[in-house]
Amino acid sequence: EDKVVQSPLSLVVHEGDTVTLNCSYEVTNFRSLLWYKQEKKAPTFLFMLTSSGIEKKSGRLSSILDKKELFSILNITATQTGDSAVYLCAVEAAGNDMRFGAGTRLTVKP
């Protein structure tokens, strides 16, 4: 059965720390992996990755995919309190299949 597993489930850091969030997956006919940030309500799109080894970057956030080992990481450098959120990983597979992980809750303390 297709599955997406995120770790850790929750994480507490202090402002300025660097964090790494993990997403591993087992799906049939992988197409892409997506990261979303969910603050209080609606998730917002961060990245879409389709190729191994190519880093996507946006400000202090970056992400990379390893299709051989079936995982992705999301890095956040110099964390700020505004980074506190649940970070969701989703995997798209053939047949219009879309699976989300349970998310990692990040809390950044001042």
Partner 1 sequence: NAGVTQTPKFRVLKTGQSMTLLCAQDMNHEYMYWYRQDPGMGLRLIHYSVGEGTTAKGEVPDGYNVSRLKKQNFLLGLESAAPSQTSVYFCASSYLWVYEQYFGPGTRLTVT
Which residues are near partner 1 by CB under 8 A? 4, 32, 34, 41-45, 48, 88, 90, 92, 96-103
- Output 17 or 97, the one with its CB closest to partner 1: 97
- Output 67 or 99, the one with its CB closest to partner 1: 99
Minimum Å gap between C-beta 50 and partner 1 is 10
Q: Report the distance separating Cα 11 and Cα 95, nearest Å.
A: 34
3-22: buried (b, 16+ CB within 10 Å) or exposed (e) per residue?
ebebeeeebebeeeeebebe
